[in-house]
Amino acid sequence: MAIYHAQLKTFSRAKGHSSIAAAAYRAGLLLEDAITGLRHDYRRRDGVVETRCIAPEGAPDWALVPAELWSAAEAAERRKDSTVAREFEFALPHELDDIQRSELAVEVTRALVVSTPRN
């Protein structure tokens, strides 16, 4: 029996969130926050199967580099109560193999990136 799960999360400065810390954790990367100087090192984190950046067509090359993307997201928001990132979390069917789950995740993510209005 399939179990469905989808959740939208926001990361807000007012709550002390950092998009850089969140991205480093989720991707199992080392990312440094240029504003605070904090280094977020999750390279030893288990459970990260795959990570990639997906950007809309025509986006600059830096949008595909996690450190540059999340630094730009933090720098773009100036208010102390800004929402600096959003995360859409969804369950992938266990009936699919790893390759199929990866393809499905990319397909859903591309649909979200294309359908999200940008300024």
Number of Cβ within 10 Å of residue 33's Cβ equals 18
| Contact by Cβ (8 Å): 70, 52 | no
> For residue 21, is pLDDT > 90?
yes
Give the per-residue pLDDT at 117: 61
All domains in the chain, ordered by first residue: 6-115 (3.30.930.30)
Residue 84's nearest CA partner among 28, 7, 19, 14 is 19
Confidence of residue 118 (pLDDT cuts 50, 70, 90): low
For 102, the enclosing helix (H) or strand (E) is helix 98-115
Angle between helices 66-76 and 19-27 (to 10 degrees): 160
For 69-91, write each residue's pLDDT tens digit: 999 988 888 888 888 889 999 99
